[in-house]
Every structure is written in structure tokens, then in C-alpha cells.
Chain A
């Protein structure tokens, strides 16, 4: 069975400082991994996805993630946090099936950004 573990339930940063949100995965085969962001009272928005092409994946809003097979990690980073980045972030692995996919969610990391 596939799973993801988000190592921090909360991360607090100051505006303009780097962001690091940690995610480890467990998969019996080459995984497809996603990061989604959820702002208050909104749905989930796709930030980026890893699909076995480049190991460094660039996403929207300046976020990127690096797939490290040896460490079974897929950490999300951003060089400089903005106040608008404050939200809940989910690391997700895809469990495919015929005609659809099942997503396995991490427990989420709440990012707090202070002025």
C-alpha cells in the first residue's frame, strides 16, 4: 500500500524567508506525487506534480519540490515566503486504477507566515 507522511503539522516562517515543508512517501513502485494547497474555505489547488521525469519539479507561485528516491522524500520549498502563502499544504501520492485514480493524502502541514 502507498502512503505519505508529512513530518510537520505546523510550520511558521517570517515573510521573505525560505519555506520547507517535508514529505516522505512509501510506495511499492515508482510513485506519482503531488503537492496541493488549500486556502481557508477553498478547494485544493495543484501546486506541482512529479511523474518520473525530472527529479526537480517547478510549480506555481515559486514553489518547487525535489524527488529523492534514496531518501523516499518529496519536500516542498520556496525561496521567499509571501503572506499569501499562508495555507494548508497536502502531500499526495496517486494510486491509479482503471479509468480513475485514488489519492492518498498526507495529514497536512499548516504554513503560518508572519510579517
Chain B
């Protein structure tokens, strides 16, 4: 069992739908991350929240909108997605110290398919 929980596990949506991905951790971590992973590729960083503030947006299109309501929760709001956005979306968390040796803990991801 992973310590980072992501829901839903699978999501199929049309290009005009609005949906949200959710991520939760109770390890007391203060940094949380969203990644996008295409098949047979490593994860690509999308957003980083540090102490509930957005610290990094890796030039992600505005149809993806992150939200960090509190230190345990991370959401990714989706609207007007394109077929190329179909991927595995991974959430991760880490200790907020920024120390190099603190690993990130990953959830099992949400498999997103855009029709």
C-alpha cells in the first residue's frame, strides 16, 4: 500500500468535460508534486507546491489547474482537455526541507483517457 493516495484510479472524459484528480498524504510532508507520464517514458514534472504555495509551474497549459487546499491535499482540475493529454498522472510528496536526500513518495496514479 502506498502512503500517497490518488483518486480516481481511472478516468475517462470527453474534451468538453470538467473533472478533478485528487491526492492525499498524511506523512506530514510539506512539498507536493504533480507529474504526467506517457507510456514508456519517465514522469514529467508539471507543478510543485511547497508549504501550500505554488512554487513551480513547468509551462503547463491552463486547461490544467492545480490547487492545494491544505498541507495534506492536492487537486488537479481538468477542463477542455485534448486527446494528447491522455496519460498516467502521478502525485508525489516529500519532506518540506528541500534536503537533497529526502525521497519523493509517489501515489499509484490516475490513468486518464480523453475521448
Contact = CB atoms under 8 A, between A and B. Distances in A.
A84 interface: no
B76 to A, nearest CB: 15
Interface residues of B, number: 35
Given A105-B43, A108-B42, A98 B4 contact: no
Does more than half of chain A's interface fall in helix, strand or loop, or is it mixed? Answer: strand
Interface string A40-54: 011111100101100
Contact of A102 (B4, B6, B41, B45): B45
Interface of B: 2, 4, 6, 30-31, 33, 40-43, 45, 48, 50-51, 55-56, 88, 90, 92, 94, 96-109, 111
20 contacts: A36-B106, A41-B109, A41-B111, A43-B6, A43-B92, A43-B108, A43-B109, A45-B2, A46-B103, A51-B101, A96-B99, A97-B98, A98-B50, A100-B31, A100-B48, A101-B31, A101-B94, A101-B98, A105-B42, A105-B43
